[in-house]
Amino acid sequence: MAENYRIIGIDNINNYYDVNLKLNRLKELGINSDGTGTQPNLVFYRTNLKEKEAVKEIFAREKPGLVVHLAAQAGVRYSLENPYDYIDSNILGFMNILENCRHHHIRHLVFASSSSIYGANEKMPFSEHHNVDHPISLYAATKKSNELMAHTYSHLYQIPCTGLRFFTVYGPWGRPDMAYFSFTEKILHNTPIEVFNYGDMKRDFTYIDDVVEGVYRVMLKIPKGNQKWDGKNPDPASSLSPFRIFNIGNNKPVDLNYFIELLEKNLGKKAEKKLLPMQKGDVKETYADIDALHEYIGFKPYTTIEQGIPRLVKWYLDYYTHTKQ
């Protein structure tokens, strides 16, 4: 908005998690409960992306030049119980985005992929140049599908597409189903936290502000085909088509127990831990190779976990104190 872009937001505000948190996020961004924006260049549509005609109508009315697709049914564990939600949101919803990008000749589509796409891979750090044909959750499989679908449309219709594999994004206004959020809530309320794989896990935690900066910079850099791409030795990270894939992570895996210690320190309370075996569909460690992203946009995440956790805790305490008044 500061750069005078007209911003068109779309979300279905479903009840996968706290609807009030979603509505308050929108309010923070300058969007009223009726969907109108408080700024002239801001508009919001409460629409489900799987609704073909509704999405088509929005594209026809607004005629966007840049599309940043961050919507999805998230969560690895939820996909074990509600698989069809992932097909509706992550496959059908993305298909509607691609079709409208095609017909409206958008300049660039940036879309969210995920670190979960690395699945059974154990070679660290995870690189965009690695093969990712072994997802271990339906969520990861839908994200892999998104990358394949985007490449197909990039090839057939020369749509510039960039996919970003996010690594455990955390921070203020985050999702309550994420471990860092539920840990914070449960520690404050003296409820045991569930620690999977008996705590022997590492995550490449990436602070939200770093992710936003990365998305913004990538959005403004429209990819071109890689003329050095070799079909006899295909690189998954690029293509002859205008298509790129990048990791966006902190490049510093953090031990889960250390992460919990930081939460305890900032909350001033000890956690009661319930140690459990590894959950189906989960991975032991994530670790992002971000050299390609840094070279491409001159930026890489820099917020340490020691800086990010205090900001998360401060927001959490402020937000829930305010909402209870």
- The full DSSP string for 165-215 is EE--EESTT--TTSHHHHHHHHHHTT-PEEEEGGG--EE--EEHHHHHHHH
pLDDT at 281: 79
pLDDT, position 202: 93
139 given a catalytic annotation: yes
CA–CA dist 163, 110 (Å, integer): 6
pLDDT at 295: 97
Distance of CA 291 to the CA centre of its chain: 19
pLDDT score of 282: 83
How far is residue 199 from each of residues 189, 203, 277, measured CA to CA in Å?
21, 11, 9
Cβ-based neighbours of 152, under 8 Å, separated by 6 or more? none
Interhelix angle 19-29/305-323, nearest 10 degrees? 100
| HSE, side-chain direction, 13 A CA sphere, residue 31 | 19
Q: What is the pLDDT of residue 302?
A: 94
Query: Alpha-carbon distance 325 to 321, whole Å?
Result: 7
DSSP labels, 249-276: S-S--EEHHHHHHHHHHHHTSPPPEEEE
The predicted pLDDT at position 324 comes to: 60
How far is Cα 280 from Cα 277, in angstroms, rounded to an integer?
A: 9
**So what's the pLDDT on residue 216?**
97
Whole-angstrom Cα distance, residue 29 to residue 44? 11
Domains and CATH numbers, the chain: 47-173+205-251+286-302 (3.40.50.720)
Q: In whole angstroms, how far apart are CA 322 and each of 15, 24, 26?
A: 22, 11, 16
From 16, 86, 118, 139, active-site residue: 139
Q: By the 8 A CB rule, do 159 and 242 touch?
A: yes
Structure tokens at 100: 């409208």
Residues in contact with 215: Cβ distance below 8 Å, sequence separation at least 6, in sequence order? 68, 70, 110, 164, 248
Could you write out the DSSP letters of every residue in 125-154?
SB-TTS------SHHHHHHHHHHHHHHHHH
- Identify the pLDDT of residue 151: 98
Determine the distance from the C-alpha atom of residue 221 to the mean position of all C-alpha atoms in its chain, rounded to a whole number: 19
pTM: 0.95
- Alpha carbon 81 to chain centroid distance? 21
* pLDDT confidence of residue 314: 97
Helix, strand, coil shares of the chain, percent, nearest 5, are: 40, 15, 40
HSE of 297, CA atoms in CB hemisphere, 13 A: 25
Classified as helix, coil or strand, 31 is: strand
User: Considering only CA atoms, which of 1, 5, 23 is closest in space to residue 14?
Assistant: 23
Q: Which stretches in the chain have pLDDT values below 50? A: none
